[in-house]
Structure 1
């Protein structure tokens, strides 16, 4: 009993020491740079190991890990096995936290993209001008994509979008990033797509396998940009809104009309979301000026959302907000950060 007590204290102390150690690392530029370089090595190894497998190995690992945790929790409620169960939980937490931090967590402390862009006033007028610009872009590109029998945008070839994303990664501006790119396709349909539809999660990156999971049930207007966003995580951009910005750079310069439309439409919606609390009348006017095709896509998105709203959506929105804050982001407020990056980038690139 005494030996078990000392073991539990030891592992609890190790966990606290890890918290402190990685906090210190997050403040040291050379340490963060070390983890950036380590990410490139482990990503290549993981992609070579897992990319060729047609289903998500990361999801399988999550399932097995979840079953193991439930097993330990059950043992925790039994008097005879309680001490060993608590000890094993502490060991698992230590190992998981350590692997997560060295593979992914420290990337949240990289030099922000915003520091690589010129300062610019993010005025309402600039955002309105961009919204009008992207309205016209989206209307024009929308006419070039295919529709289903209900006149809603339909993806013709998802694999060609994935290949295009990998090609566009190589064309990202050097002053934004010099991260290493490759042609390894590690996009995977999530095994949890039904659950994802009820959580508001469009996709996610698995740092333990370097796979980019996506929800195949998503409306086509969401899906291409979701892939571009998750591919940005694969490049090593941990912050959500920086992944959006890199996804924007990938999609907006693409010759693939499906990816381009999804990106332009996402950008337009993001701009309107940033404007609505300041000028609701302007936003309503823009929505009225959507093309008939875009209006059908918008109704399809609203239908998808309304069919999948519920407690899970609220819960995952709350937990995601906590996660962002724990990584020194501003929770849901960080959605304005993408607009900040966009406006600054457009100030030096007028295309």
Structure 2
């Protein structure tokens, strides 16, 4: 069948636009200059202005609508198989699926996704990530154990576990103000942080928060332990400000928290990094195959960790263990592939790469 001229040029233009976006991914400096520095800050600020004061997550509604459309399309495809025959209907729907995927790819890339190919954070912050050894991680772990003890003892249990939803936006704005003043991050005049409408879905998908690239909103789980929420808010806001890789977003969030006036914000950030450091340390020492060294490190960490920190970590662990299900591993595997497709070769372990930035900062 010959396509009408208008339909041909529409499909050709869509394909060409996607091809140009894909081609731009091979030129990080061009993306940095014309997209990350010239276009994206204005686009992000516009989205925050338009959607930031809406009290619910528009992005969640968009995803919910997309899911309903997917179910509707599956039903229509089944009907067309019965009416048109399997082969004809399959070719028809293959074209429709490719058309939809091209639009998703184009919108995702233009709204935010091109940030994955900008040059590394280190080139902009004059910071070189460290290829660490177990001794480096050991040194960092001890430092984080001391920091978490200091903030936990200042706060006490009641303050650590007090609800903080109304404080997240003010905390986030004040955390990023010094970084903007130092020209480390774009100015954050208005945040767009929302509690997710589908918090229970997080048990199945396995997220604590997420950034919606199409609406520019940062979502966090309202049912998440309160001690985690400040860092999650800072992390998703870092994505909002243009830091796409997970390790870079975590490092920017941690840096924003370092000199924050609230001990709750600083404790949340140090507790997050401590979790990564402990996991990485046990992995590196475990790979040596020396049970004696592994056991010695574990006992020393337990003795050095503040009892309040230990209780908080147990409470967090119990929260996630009580919500484990059989779907989460599959969703984690999908997200792992998503990260790898977007140039984060380590997949989910990209989150642990924030330790390289922390060590570079220490040195």
In the alignment, is residue 334 of structure 1 matched against residue 350 of structure 2? yes
1:222 aligns with 2:237: no
Pairing of 1:158-197 with structure 2 (within 5 A)? 158-172=165-179, 178-197=184-203
CA distance in 2, matches of 1:62, 1:306: 27
- 1:110-166 deviations in Å (ceiling 9; x for gaps): 111234314655232232122111111111111233535xxx931343332421221
Q: C-alpha separation between the residues in 2 aligned to 1:119 and 1:65?
A: 39
Q: What is the CA RMSD across the aligned residues, in angstroms? A: 2.7
Q: Which residue of 1 aligns with 2:288?
A: none
Q: Where does residue 300 of structure 2 map in the other structure?
A: 285
Gaps of at least 5 residues in structure 2 are 286-293
Q: 1:111 aligns with which of 103, 111, 119?
A: 119
Q: Deviations over 1:246-268 (max 9, x none)?
A: 01101122111111111111111
Q: Assess if the C-alpha contact under 8 Å between 1:11 and 1:90 holds in 2.
A: no
Q: Gaps spanning 5+ residues in structure 1: where?
A: none
CA shift for structure 1 position 10: 8.3
277-286 or 180-189: bigger deviation: 277-286
Identify the residue that residue 139 of structure 2 maps to in structure 1.
129
State whether structure 2 residue 334 is matched by structure 1 residue 319: yes
Change in 2 beyond 3 A, CA 1:8/1:86: farther
SS for the counterpart of 1:259 is: helix
SS at the partner of 2:56? Answer: coil
Specify the alignment match of 2:290 in structure 1.
Answer: none
Q: Does the C-alpha gap of structure 1 residues 73 and 38 become closer, same or farther in structure 2, counting only changes over 3 Å?
A: farther
Deviation string, structure 1 residues 269-307 (Cα, Å, up to 9, x no partner):
111122112333314421343222112111111111211
- Report the TM-score when normalising by structure 1: 0.88
Higher normalized helix content (fraction of residues): 2
TM-score normalised per structure 2? 0.85
Aligned to 1:309: 324
**1:101 maps to which residue?**
109
- Provide the rounded CA distance (Å) in 1 between the counterparts of 2:188 and 2:311: 36
Q: Measure the CA separation in 2 of the matches of 1:19 and 1:88.
A: 16
- The Cα of 1:17 is off from its aligned counterpart by 4.9
Give, in whole Å, the separation in 1 of the partners of 2:184 and 2:306: 38
Of 32-41 and 201-210, deviating more is 32-41
After superposition, what is the alpha-carbon deviation per residue over 1:203-254, rounded to whole angstroms, capped at 9, x for unaligned?
0011111110000111123211111111101111000110010011011221
